[in-house]
Structure 1
Amino acid sequence: MSMAKRLTGGALALCLGLILPIGAFAAEKNRAPAPTPLTAAELYMIYADKTWTWNTGGGRFIGEDRRFVAWVDNGGKQSFAEGRWVVDDLGQMCMRATWTNNEGTARASTCFGHRKIGNTIYQRRQPSGDWYVFRHAATKADDEFRKLVPADTVSLKAQGLKQVLATDK
């Protein structure tokens, strides 16, 4: 007679009740950890008093009063921005600024989400960009994180363009 036939219905249920949770625990243990949002404090430490260098210019995240200044030269068309940057405990960093060029001004808000798994940080443009590695656990040369530099390479350019545009009016 098989083991299952020898066990009564209650004994079989008891055995299955002990085996199934162990299997579920093993599956849970092998599951990849869920990404968690960076905190506002973590985001502040990443961006404060840094310049995010772009191919066409950059944006400066000033720690004091969370001011944001940017300058771009896109094919000879220069623009500058002034505003604020904000972070939250949902892993979001936003740059809210008024952009100005020789054609006028426009307000813009650009946000990026940040999540981490272990020591690797992922980023995406909100609301629907693709996630990519912002900073590997062991930082790599091509990590976007490396484009955040201490040097202020944009404020003087933005101020100069602001003065030029003010005198043109």
Structure 2
Amino acid sequence: MRIGSKLYGAALALSLCLPMAAQGAEAAGKTEPTATPLSAYELYRIYGDKTWIWNTGAGRFVDDGRRFVAWTDDKGKQSFAEGRWVVDDLGQLCMRATWTNAEGAARASTCFGHRKIGNTIYQRRQPDGNWYVFRHASVRDDDEFGKLVPMDSVSAKARDLKQALQSQEVTRKGG
């Protein structure tokens, strides 16, 4: 038997079966649910006055003035951030802040997209991160959503880190 005839046979079988399968799915009303972006209000309810706990630090979404404050300690390299957080009706949350460490300061904007299918919320880092479940319809202990807590464990730590880095800067400049 030749390979060409096997491929021809498989192609013929697919061309006959796929239209019937598609028609059957349409008849049964089985269409894929579409993901819809979260509204700015929904995002505000999720993040407003919450602390997002990360592996190397945390960020605080202050309701008053939409201030964003954060700190990180990645293998002894400490930094803090001050800026703002914004949301939109396209399901996007952005943290726009100036990050400062012992080497200096730089502005950064980090955004996350949010979509929902039913009561399940998906999230990804913009622009090209992979989508993952942020909050299951029935919330699970390992949902990223669970890392958003009401307690402010960020502001005091970021303030202390800012003072420490500023005093290092003064010492380095001989003041």
Asked whether 1:72 is paired with 2:72, we answer yes
- List runs of 5+ in structure 2 lacking aligned partners: 1-22, 171-175
* Aligned ranges 1:82-97 → 2 under 5 Å: 82-97=82-97
Partner of 1:46: 46
Cα deviation digits, residues 104-131 of structure 1 (max 9, x gap): 0010000000000000000000000000
Partner of 2:62: 62
Partner of 1:146: 146
Q: Distance in 2 between matches of 1:27 and 1:108?
A: 50
Paired residues, number: 147
Partner of 1:36: 36
Partner of 1:162: 162
- Identical pairs, percent: 70
Secondary structure in 2 aligned to 1:115? strand
TM-score computed with the length of structure 2 as normaliser? 0.81
Partner of 1:110: 110
Runs of 4+ in 1 over 3 A off after TM superposition: 23-28
Letter of the structure 1 residue corresponding to residue 77 of structure 2 = K
Counterparts in 2 of 1:68 and 1:28: CA distance versus 1, 3 Å: farther
Q: Distance in 2 between matches of 1:154 and 1:44?
A: 19
Alignment RMSD: 1.5
TM-score computed with the length of structure 1 as normaliser? 0.84
- List runs of 5+ in structure 1 lacking aligned partners: 1-22
Q: Distance in 1 between matches of 2:92 and 2:28?
A: 29
Secondary structure in 2 aligned to 1:29? coil
Partner of 2:10: none
Larger Rg: 1
